[in-house]
Amino acid sequence: MKGAGRRILGFGALVALLMLSSCTATNEPMAMSKSAKEILGNPEYRAISYGGYRGKNRDEQPSIEELKEDLKIMSAMGVRLLRTYNLQLPHAPNVLKAIKALKEEDSSFEMYVMLGAWIDCQGAWTSEAPDHTKESEENNTSEIQKAVRYANEYPDIVKIIAVGNEAMVHWAASYFVHPSVILKYVNYLQELKRMGKLPADLWVTSSDNFASWGGGEDAYHLRELEELIKAVDYVSMHTYPFHDTHYNSAFWESPADEANGFSDHDRVLMAMQRAAFYAQGQYESVKAYVHGIAPEKPIHIGETGWSSISVGFYGNSGSFAADEYKQAIYHNAMREWTDAEGISCFYFEAFDEQWKDPNHSEGSENHFGLITLDGQAKYGLWDLVDEGVFEGLSRGGQEITKTFEGDTTALLQTVSAPKRRR
């Protein structure tokens, strides 16, 4: 991207501009809490991506009480660290309010937040053609200002600020920016920490596709990316074998030596093993690139997940990837691997959300949650239902029960093996 960032506000000017509205880190006594360094990579502090939206658009903001319901459910699942995505809407600030309320009600309640600040290019989400060489300065500055404000207002809760979500990957054609934009804001936040304008133990990152962190094509291997790798406190990378069952299917389809002698169930299990290895391989590719620049830089997984329903690319008219059984296998495999390796994995996601594809109720984007909209635990969480961890909890007045009424036979009837490789 030759010439990208030419119109980007300089770092010195950015500091001068944002310092006018940034808050000084609070001097009030902080409730007992862990630092990002202590939380990330600790399997006792399970991480998850969270959106509490229950309606078909984000105009229907979840109430504080609804957020508290969700927080109690996630806590029962062992989640202690959750991720939000933007500050343009009330959702993320209300999550912080809800956590604070629960902590006041019960001093033992523990939940921390990776606070996302959304970053756009100029013309993103408008009738204009996006200009990826320029940033949306007004939007981006506002997001960063709010992130600073909330990190200072809730220092016992906000432990990480993520500058952008998939904001550098080129297939994010509606809004991606040059790495220099992300670098500018990361440097600004790190400078605030040095000046005592943000908590010193707050960590700063950007959460993006594995390719954006150097684990893929050479086109991403830019000087500004190298500088960004050095500037962040850790790398937050995304990996989605689920999507690549369509876009890069070679790893997914049953090879010739599985064509005969294996049952469909066996082929499903082998395919899911390949999917887990695929995700691990993308992690290792990022690690190889990042550690060639900053050998000690921590790397965690900011997103990965598996949808349970699809009538499109990933269903029975496509790659045969989407169902609850495969979702459970992938979730458990990723948890087992990351826990063993000391990697935090912000599994995507806690609950189904239907605003993502409101015109297609069975669109895959609506079904990445481990729990349905009406509070049914999908197969990957059935064991927690059996253990009684959700006893006394509900979502929208519905007790947390098992999908398929707990009938494994009915569940398995929805499972299809991948295509055989031609």
- 141-152 pLDDT, tens digit per residue, is 999 999 999 999
Could you tell me what percent of the chain has a pLDDT over 90?
89
| pLDDT of residue 84 exceeding 50 | yes
H or E element in which residue 300 lies: strand 299-304
In this structure, how many other beta carbons lie within 10 angstroms of the beta carbon of residue 337? 17
φ, ψ at 208 (rounded to 5°):
-150, 165
Round to whole Å and give the CA distance between 159 and 201.
8
Residue 205: beta bridge partners? Answer: 162
Residue pair 178/224 in contact (Cβ under 8 Å)? The answer is yes
* pLDDT score, position 260: 75
- Both tokens of 105, joined, read 């009600």
Residue pair 179/224 in contact (Cβ under 8 Å)? The answer is yes
Fill in the amino acid letter for 400.
Answer: I
* Closest CA relative to residue 131, chosen from 118, 117, 121, 145: 121
C-alpha torsion 146→150→153→159, nearest 10: -140
* Closest CA relative to residue 378, chosen from 412, 328, 305, 321: 328
H or E element in which residue 228 lies: helix 223-231
* pLDDT score, position 30: 47
H or E element in which residue 376 lies: strand 376-377
Distances (CA, A) of 130 to 40, 81, 124, 225, 320: 35, 34, 5, 21, 34
11-22+32-412: CATH class: alpha beta
Q: Computed over its alpha carbons, how large is the radius of gyration of the chain?
A: 21
Report cis status (omega within 30 of 0) of the bond before 166.
no
Round to whole Å and give the CA distance between 372 and 365.
13
* Closest CA relative to residue 48, chosen from 334, 283, 281: 334
| pLDDT of residue 76 exceeding 60 | yes
Q: What is the mean pLDDT of the chain?
A: 93
| DSSP-derived pairing of the beta strands 394-395 and 398-399 | antiparallel
| DSSP-derived pairing of the beta strands 299-304 and 345-347 | parallel
Q: Is residue 66 classed as helix, strand or coil in its secondary structure?
A: helix
- Both tokens of 186, joined, read 């990361």
Lowest mean pLDDT across 20-29, 80-89, 161-170: 20-29
State pLDDT tens for residues 96-130: 999 999 999 999 999 999 999 999 999 999 999 99
Round to whole Å and give the CA distance between 220 and 208.
12
List the beta strands (DSSP E) in 166-254: 203-209, 235-238
The pTM (predicted TM-score) of the whole model is: 0.93
Indicate the pLDDT class of residue 192, thresholds 50, 70 and 90.
Answer: very high
Round to whole Å and give the CA distance between 56 and 166.
23
| pLDDT of residue 381 exceeding 60 | yes
Residue pair 293/278 in contact (Cβ under 8 Å)? The answer is no
Residue 305: beta bridge partners? Answer: none
Q: Tell how far CA 134 is from the center of its chain.
A: 25
- Both tokens of 87, joined, read 């500050």
Length of the chain measured in residues: 422
